Chains A and B, each alone.
Chain A
Amino acid sequence: MKFTNRISCKLKLGAFLGAVSLLTSGLTHAAKEIEVGVLFSQTGGLSIVEKSLASATLMAIEEINAKGGVNGMVIKPLVEDGASDPKTFNEKVSKLVIRDKVATIFGGYTSASRKAMLPVVEKRNSLLFYPTFYEGFECSKNVVYTGAAPNQQLNNYIPWLVKNLGKKKFFIVGSNYLYPKEMAKVAKTLIEENGAEWVGDEYLALGHSEWSSMVKKIKDSGADIVLSNVVGGSIISFYREYANQGISQKDIPIASTVTSEIEVAAMGGKFAAGSYTSFPYFQAVDTEANKAFIERYRAYTKDETAVTHHAMESAYSGVYLWAKAVSKADGIKPNEIMEATKGVSFDAASGTMTVSADNLHTSMTPRIVQWNEDARGTIVDEFSAPVIPLPYAAYGETAGNLFCSESGLDSSKL
């Protein structure tokens, strides 16, 4: 009984603290601060990648603050933990939006976590900066996508694999969820358009690490290239089993849309050597800007061997794009920032990134890398100019025929 009382005390205290923080946040605006949420998984299975996204976001915020902030305002990040669980993402995002009333949230890695955040962000008219490459098919007025859309990963990739490597038979393999399945759909169209064929399309549960049967299937299928949309820890056991079953990356290379510096470093260059990945950014991008970026990141994380990768570079650049938008926005309400985000661009380590006024996705420069024994990549192909994002590419969207524009989604085109 005593404890029931104590609990009600605690609840009151919680409400009280909430009220206090509301009050103080009101005060701090006067003291020139702008609060943003940083919501990635600090714990749980996905923290492997998401911690690096959080670090990159915080590093960008720190850099901007060091230069005097944005419009004289100091950016104040509120860091929350999504715990690799959509339920937690949903709860924390509502804390950030409704209680803390942050101007913007930087966060999310998996589509599942984004989908869990969307209802709160959209109904409350807040603003989310989502840094990950994803499957497309979204036309939200409340999300700025700074990662690659499917066309920015595949449209150059498949033709290059067919024409330059002379590959004719694709085996498509992925983790069992939306992103790999949508990527497979886009890829199939492109494969057929380029005069090749696909001989298999198979999925494994997320986190699955027993590849013996699948690799055997690949071997028996007669494929001469594998398109992998496998994500997470499964990637490493996949490449390993591939070598263990005696398949050489020279004969049947794996061409991936997910395998980044993180996974290659973890599996050891030996297993990845000869395989390919397509992203707009690689650590191997040979520019002074990128070298400086890598150095700053390593200093920031106090880790001499820290790797940079596409999603984290997008997370970092996203903050700069946002800061540019804030500096020209009419105010710091989420929708004012969103309006100002349209068309802003930033010279990122990966080249110029511009937020499309139509679909709030970002144009960027697709690249293809071939991995070497030393776990570094060599860029083997690069677009000469940034490519416009097409989130509905799988359904026939083209640059001249946008499905998602400033007026919203034209569902009659679907």
Chain B
Amino acid sequence: MLDTILIGLSLGSILLLVALGLSIIYGSMGVINMAHGELVMIGAYSTVLAQIHMGLSLFAAIPLAFVVCFALGLLIEKFVVRRLYGRLFDTLLATWGVAILLQQAIRLEFGLSFFGIHIAGLGPGLQSVKVPDLLSEPIFIGEFLIQPYRAFIIIISILLAVITWLLMYKTRMGQQIRAIMRNKDMAAACGINVRKVNALTFAYGAGLAGVAGVMMSGFKTVMPDMGSSLVVDGFLVVVVGGVGSLVGTIVASGLLGQVNGIFAALSNDIIARAIVFGVVIAIIIWRPQGLLNYKGR
């Protein structure tokens, strides 16, 4: 039983990792970023490339992937998202296009494969990342097994949640973000530079996706379309948790992780996933505002 709960916890922490960035972007800007999964993928590829070409370990890749995705986030915000504020569904469609572009960029090695240039680590193939020995050897406590890598993911996701909370509630920047969430026009009238804050929020969310990508790369297959299913899961978590609620996102990822883990143990993974979808639909119909909501929408 304890193992099942631990598996659920691990599943939940992975959901949280993906959902955190989405939650911030959606909550504060009203933007549905369908390219979030692809940003996770870029984070994973950053790890692969850093390992192949620079010999960097997984730990060192965490800040690197954050920076890469942060920068990419700034670009996406500047060229696409900025023009679509207030057009919720259009952000969804445009970022879906961006997602296709990002996937193809990796697959075609940024278009260089057209000229016969190959970059090791890119292309349509499968990639994987070495995990530091420290995190790869399972630890037995009596009969009980602890996977250090999964524990590491749980710790990192909690850490990121805490950092995000601190950013939102203890800094001037966070205050501004929350002001914009409440009322964008009022915030602008009070002298907040909405554009700049939004750009940074989006980039931060993208950066979180990058870190999530590093974590994924350690135990999942790294490939160009690894992100497409992640964004759906992340998005379900955000909506179930309640738009704009950090705590809601944490609770929802924990809940869905446990549901998934328990039903996977009782029956099988397919049924478990079906039940997760069912639970999500039921919760949205029952409480459209989400489990814990920050503001009505």
Contacts and interface: CB of A to CB of B under 8 A. Distances in A.
B185 interface: no
A50 to B, nearest CB: 9
Interface stretch (A112-120, A211-219, A310-318): A211-219
B128 A266 contact: yes
B228 to A, nearest CB: 9
Interface stretch (B169-177, B186-194, B247-255, B260-268): B260-268
Interface string B202-237: 000000000000000001110111100100000000
Contact of B7 (A44, A213, A237, A240): A213
A167 B49 CA distance: 41
A237 B3 contact: no
A2 B219 CA distance: 54
B126 interface: yes
Contact of A245 (B107, B118, B145, B225): B145
Interface residues of A, number: 38
A204 interface: yes
A244 B138 contact: yes
Given A48-B126, A240-B219, A246-B138, A208 B269 contact: yes
Contacts of A303: 118
B182 to A, nearest CB: 37
A210 B118 CA distance: 30
Interface in B46-70: none
Contact of B270 (A43, A205, A216, A235): A205
A237 B221 contact: yes
A216 B11 CA distance: 14
Interface string B124-159: 111110100000101010000101011000000000
A311 B107 CA distance: 21
Contacts of B138: 244-246
Nearest to A214: B269
Nearest to B6: A212
A297 to B, nearest CB: 15
A331 interface: no
Contacts of A213: 4, 7, 261, 264-265, 269, 272
B91 interface: no
A134 B280 CA distance: 37
B11 to A, nearest CB: 7
A234 B270 contact: no
B104 interface: yes
A219 B221 CA distance: 22
A207 B223 CA distance: 11
A72 B200 CA distance: 65
Given A203-B270, A245-B147, A246-B145, A266 B7 contact: no
B127 A266 contact: yes
A268 interface: yes
Given A205-B269, A208-B269, A268-B128, A45 B118 contact: no
B273 interface: yes
Contact of B221 (A51, A212, A233, A246): A233
B125 A48 contact: yes
| Best-surrounded residue of B116, B128, B221, B224 (most CB of chain A within 10 A) | B221
B130 A268 contact: yes
Contacts of A47: 107, 124
B10 interface: yes
Given A51-B124, A216-B3, A216-B7, A236 B221 contact: yes
A203 B138 CA distance: 25
Given A204-B269, A233-B126, A233-B221, A212 B7 contact: yes
A262 B269 contact: no
A213 B3 CA distance: 9
Contact of A236 (B126, B145, B150): B126
Contacts of A267: 126, 128, 221
B134 to A, nearest CB: 13
A44 to B, nearest CB: 7
B108 to A, nearest CB: 9
Given A48-B125, A212-B10, A43 B269 contact: no
A100 interface: no
B254 to A, nearest CB: 16
Contacts of B225: 44-45
Contact of A266 (B125, B261, B272): B125
B221 A205 contact: no
A246 B118 CA distance: 36
Contacts of A236: 126, 128, 220-221
Interface in A188-245: 202-205, 207-210, 212-214, 216-217, 233-237, 240-241, 243-245
Given A210-B11, A213-B265, A244-B147, A302 B223 contact: no
A244 B124 contact: no
Contacts of B10: 212
A266 B127 CA distance: 5
Contacts of B4: 213
A58 to B, nearest CB: 15
A35 interface: no
Nearest to A301: B118
A134 B175 CA distance: 59
A259 to B, nearest CB: 12
30 contacts: A43-B104, A43-B107, A45-B223, A45-B225, A47-B124, A48-B126, A51-B124, A203-B268, A205-B269, A205-B270, A207-B229, A210-B11, A212-B10, A212-B11, A212-B150, A214-B269, A233-B126, A233-B221, A233-B223, A233-B226, A235-B221, A236-B126, A236-B128, A243-B136, A244-B219, A245-B145, A246-B140, A266-B125, A267-B221, A302-B116
Interface of A: 43-45, 47-48, 51, 176, 202-205, 207-210, 212-214, 216-217, 233-237, 240-241, 243-246, 262-263, 266-268, 302-303
Given A45-B223, A240-B128, A262-B125, 15 more contacts: A48-B124, A202-B268, A205-B270, A210-B269, A216-B265, A233-B221, A235-B221, A236-B126, A237-B220, A244-B149, A244-B219, A262-B126, A267-B126, A302-B116, A302-B118
